[in-house]
Amino acid sequence: MRIGIGYDLHRLAAGRKLILGGMEIPFDKGLAGHSDGDAVAHAICDALLGAAGLGDIGQHFPNDDPRWKDASSLRFLEHTRDLVDKLGYEIGYIDGVVMAEQPRLGRYFGAMRQTLARALAIPAERINLKAKTGEGIGEIGRGEAMAVQAVALLEARKQRSRKARKQRTSRKPAQPRR
């Protein structure tokens, strides 16, 4: 069992779509960034990469790589899911805190969890999201930025299902050689 932590912060800018958790959210500003600025997806990516011992998002998706310019960050999650899978881990659980003064995000979390879960190929029940404001102070509170913290739990994938193990152990012993 392995755990990882992720953190991301993006500035809010006029004339950008607000993309969080793979969803477009109606708001008059969006998160600035080389990709779509989806800080929820980025923090989850970093938490997964951390738990897998695979470094960080900047190593895997460099922001000067034209492949990722304006890319949907859901593609980062899909790629990270594949890396985790190749190492023999499955995603056990993800929890996140989304720090934003406005808009109120709670109403979007259900759909966001579904969208993230699809990209990660896990049930939405394995993802939890929480919202926090900045209480009117700091860069979050002044509405200049949004930040996200996430933790991820990875579990070693079971080598065989219980049924397969049972079949294996109940197999008749080999006939003794004559």
Helix (H, G, I), strand (E, B) or coil at 97: strand
Rounded to the nearest whole angstrom, what is the least distance from the CB of residue 56 to Mg ion in the complex?
Answer: 11
Beta bridge partners of 14: 29
For Mg ion, how many residues bind (rule: CB under 5 A)?
Answer: 2
Nearer to Mg ion, 42 or 81 (CB): 42
Helical segments of the chain, H only: 39-52, 57-60, 74-86, 109-120, 138-141, 162-169
Site string for Mg ion, 8-37 (x = CB under 5 A): x-----------------------------
Rounded to the nearest whole angstrom, what is the least distance from the CB of residue 62 to Mg ion in the complex?
Answer: 12
* Both structure tokens of 56: 């960080």
Q: Which stretch binds Mg ion (CB under 5 A): 6-14, 46-54, 79-87, 108-116?
A: 6-14
Residue 86 burial (CB < 10 Å; 0-12/13-18/19+)? exposed
Rounded to the nearest whole angstrom, what is the least distance from the CB of residue 60 to Mg ion in the complex?
Answer: 12
Rounded to the nearest whole angstrom, what is the least distance from the CB of residue 148 to Mg ion in the complex?
Answer: 9
Please give the residue whose beta carbon sits closest to Mg ion in the complex: 42
Nearer to Mg ion, 37 or 134 (CB): 37
Q: How far apart are CA 21 and CA 19, in angstroms?
A: 7
Q: Is 42 in the site for Mg ion (CB under 5 A)?
A: yes
> Would you call the peptide bond into 103 cis, given omega within 30 degrees of 0 as the criterion?
yes
Strands (E) across the chain are located at: 2-14, 18-20, 23-25, 29-31, 89-99, 127-132, 145-156
Nearer to Mg ion, 62 or 88 (CB): 62
Q: Give the binding site for Mg ion (CB under 5 A).
A: 8, 42
